[in-house]
Chain A
């Protein structure tokens, strides 16, 4: 049987801090095939970014300790020697970071930063690398790239810097692109341009995209399959249409009800999720969402719910059927 492109199972990331052990990622599993877009959605601190940093060996140790398996074409990214992962990182699996202002080196020109990738991974000569870099900038829609390429990052606007980041990530034609909040720092019209660009490049190259975001609008527009994370765990996964139509975890349901939508009549009362996001160093013994959950039962506070299979192809980690149970009135702290 051929190997899956990327198969992550039971990934755990712990940070040993003075406050005790913080389990940022707790048993996360997912897989992705070429041409697919997988969404990872969750709030700050839910472990969505850390789990992907861990895949690329970017979690510093100490204090971070990573366990589990992450098979990339059958080879485990978590146990392979440093030399091997450096050959994959940036070449086969590339990453776009959230903040284009801080993830480019302000002291180097865009040309320096773009050519470094291909010279290192593809063995390009300086001339080849520069031609390739100009070509990539053209593809991501930067006007007069042969001139702009010698500019420094501060001479570019936020949207252009994100395009440079995308050009850099895609210049070795990676198999997997991890995009960590790629449009969060951008304005809506620019966000739409960047998402179009990613979709177009995916269609042309068959790249698999892992899209990390907290924005349900981005998820709806981009993803095939979605994993919802809360406090380091996946609480629900489903094909995108199903997740929005029939959410099965109370957290997903709460998230969808709490966002205002441009296509709804104004003044509709929002239903926020009560309480505050959990403190990862002091998680409750049972389900981490139980203290905020309007559906919780006694069992939820004692036992962590495993992922149950939904009849229609998704999975969810909840003891209660939210479709047949009435929620309690929210009690806000």
Chain B
């Protein structure tokens, strides 16, 4: 990997920074221009789908990304792999900068990071057999001699729990859970270090969801994969990810260890979001922090905090200056693990009580 010609230089790193992160995203922005009115060729504004997102994923780690529809979580994943071109910012895959590379230069990096898509009905070519779907990435990357290819396909199918009988079947002959297994086998065919999973279980029935979640967790342990796991289901993300980022309108509003974030959320949006998640147990219903309205459209330009309009603890300052994603002060930091939140009052415990916000 040292002699890749088109890569830009690696980011400067302090010597004691630990292992190189598998993925590092710095201030990623994806803005889509839109036109409105009679002049089609004139750009009237931008949808700021992703607006300054930064995070790292360590080897073998799972980062969960949650948020409601339109918050930019899927666009973030797509921009990382250059499936939509990032507007600005930097993406480093194992220390190599990959944003802005052309298709040819990008190809070796596609071996290292693969994507698992949400809809197993739309993301598999209906005219290809299961065997050829799983083999296609190997062919593209010229990984195996034709004689070994079939063995490798069967090995992958076994790895994801697909019966070898499926080798010559077509996607329409498989159920949703089986199709998602095919999608995972296809992603693993090039032996990547990083899997970007975009809502991999939300199209599946509940009893099948658990099978696929267990499969992903098992594969991660056996293969030492890093995962970026995107979902809107808070319980699913908490289950699979050790560290979780919460997105709202194109920005990360909170990032921290799963346990701390779920038991003691600090950003007002995280609090409201978590309190809205339903607990499947009638004996354990709880108080909800009601939010009015819905996630607004991301085509507006915000000077201050994007959540300020709906926030129960906002004050005038919040609409003027945008709070950066900041480290927790030492007395709030969870032992040894970093926690960040983008709110002026994230660590101000008394403010919640003062504003009569319902207790968590």
A276 in contact with B177 (CB, 8 Å): yes
CB-CB under 8 A from A158, the residues of chain B are 69
B239 in contact with A267 (CB, 8 Å): yes
CB-CB under 8 A from A188, the residues of chain B are 68, 232, 234, 273, 276-278
Q: Could you give, for residues 256-287 of chain A, a 1 whenever the CB lies within 8 Å of some chain B CB and a 0 otherwise?
A: 10111111011111111110110000000000
CB-CB under 8 A from B219, the residues of chain A are none
Q: Which residue of A lies closest to B67 (CB)?
A: A187
CA distance in complex: A272, B175 (Å): 16
Cβ of B16 under 8 Å from chain A: no
Q: A219-B280, A255-B207 are in contact. Are A262 and B69 (CB under 8 A)?
A: no
CB-CB under 8 A from B213, the residues of chain A are 260, 270, 272
Q: Could you give, for residues 276-297 of chain B, a 1 whenever the CB lies within 8 Å of some chain A CB and a 0 otherwise?
A: 1111111111001011001100
B175 in contact with A276 (CB, 8 Å): yes
A261 in contact with B279 (CB, 8 Å): yes
Cβ of A82 under 8 Å from chain B: no
CA distance in complex: A187, B180 (Å): 23
B294 in contact with A276 (CB, 8 Å): no
Count of CB-CB pairs between chains A and B under 8 Å: 140
Determine how close the nearest CB of chain B comes to the CB of A15; give it in whole angstroms.
19
CA distance in complex: A266, B294 (Å): 28
Q: Which residue of B lies closest to A292 (CB)?
A: B207
CA distance in complex: A37, B62 (Å): 40
B:159-177 near A, CB below 8 Å: 161, 163, 175, 177
B210 in contact with A258 (CB, 8 Å): yes
Cβ of A43 under 8 Å from chain B: yes
Determine how close the nearest CB of chain A comes to the CB of B93; give it in whole angstroms.
27
B276 in contact with A192 (CB, 8 Å): yes
Determine how close the nearest CB of chain B comes to the CB of A286; give it in whole angstroms.
20
Q: Is the interface of B mostly helix, strand, loop or mixed?
A: helix
Q: Which residue of B lies closest to A215 (CB)?
A: B278
Q: Out of A218, A265, A268, name the residue touching B278 (CB < 8 Å).
A: A218
Q: Out of B161, B234, B285, B294, name the residue touching A262 (CB < 8 Å).
A: B234
Q: A188-B273, A189-B273, A216-B280 are in contact. Are A262 and B238 (CB under 8 A)?
A: yes
CA distance in complex: A158, B69 (Å): 10
Cβ of A221 under 8 Å from chain B: yes
CA distance in complex: A332, B40 (Å): 55
A270 in contact with B278 (CB, 8 Å): no
Q: Could you give, for residues 201-245 of chain A, a 1 whenever the CB lies within 8 Å of some chain B CB and a 0 otherwise?
A: 000000000000011111111000000000000000000110011
CA distance in complex: A218, B211 (Å): 22
Given contacts A244-B280, A263-B279, A273-B207, 13 further A-B pairs with CB under 8 A are A43-B205, A190-B68, A192-B288, A214-B206, A215-B278, A221-B285, A244-B281, A244-B283, A259-B206, A259-B210, A260-B213, A272-B209, A273-B210
Residues of A within 8 A of B (CB): 43-44, 157-160, 187-193, 196, 214-221, 240-241, 244-245, 254-256, 258-263, 265-274, 276-277, 332-333
Chain A to chain B: the 9 pairs with minimum beta-carbon distance, closest first: A217-B278, A272-B210, A216-B280, A260-B239, A258-B210, A187-B68, A273-B207, A272-B211, A270-B210
